[in-house]
Amino acid sequence: MPQFQKRSGRGSRSYSSASSCSSRKSGTYVIKSKSTGAKYVGRSANIPKRIEQHNSGSGSKWTSRMGNKGDWSLVKSYKGNNAHTENAITKGVMRNEGIASVRGGSYCKTHYPKAEFRAIKSANGFTNNGRGYKVC
């Protein structure tokens, strides 16, 4: 997985594979649907239990709608169980995978109207629209 780099400025911080551990119990995590390729970024004090919830259909609305039950698997986990870390990683994944196929942190709506989608894209300097998911 590529490095995620928060834009320079106040509170600049990078997230690289060197700082991640796929067996971490607490922190921020990235999961992926095997059937749709959609990704979700979340944070938890107990990552394995939280992934079980996503797989049972009692996780987030995004994971319930974008993948089948039992379909979500851990891609990577990161140290840091706070909103800042979760948002920085979400933006990094969105930048690489596209806004339409990723949710997490402050970006948790299941559907974004076109104007809001463009505003997110513009505010964060994204160039990738997504991977085939419809933008409402």
**5 vs 110 pLDDT, higher one:** 110
**Nearest Cα to 27, choosing from 90, 72, 107, 86?**
86
H runs (alpha helix) in 27-76: 47-56, 61-66
Distance CA 40, CA 34 (A): 12
User: Six-digit token pair at 64?
Assistant: 């319930």
Give residue 93's domain range. 4-124
Q: Note whether residue 131 is domain-resident.
A: no
Q: Note whether residue 26 is domain-resident.
A: yes
Give the pLDDT confidence score for residue 129 in this predicted structure: 57
Q: Note whether residue 134 is domain-resident.
A: no
Q: Note whether residue 106 is domain-resident.
A: yes
State what percent of residues in the chain have pLDDT above 70. Answer: 75
Q: Note whether residue 96 is domain-resident.
A: yes
pTM, rounded to two decimals: 0.76
Give the pLDDT confidence score for residue 117 in this predicted structure: 87
pLDDT at 130 over 90: no
pLDDT at 28 over 80: yes
Give the pLDDT confidence score for residue 120 in this predicted structure: 87
How confident is residue 98, by pLDDT bands cut at 50, 70 and 90? confident
CA 113 to centroid of chain Cα atoms: 19
Q: Per the structure, how many domains does the chain have? A: 1
Q: Note whether residue 132 is domain-resident.
A: no
Q: Note whether residue 85 is domain-resident.
A: yes
Which CATH number goes with the domain that contains 53? Answer: 3.40.1440
Give the pLDDT confidence score for residue 74 in this predicted structure: 96
Check if the beta carbon of residue 117 is closer than 8 Å to that of residue 104: no
Q: Note whether residue 16 is domain-resident.
A: yes
- DSSP letter assigned to residue 20: B
Give the mean model confidence (pLDDT) for residues 121-130: 72
Give the mean model confidence (pLDDT) for residues 40-46: 96
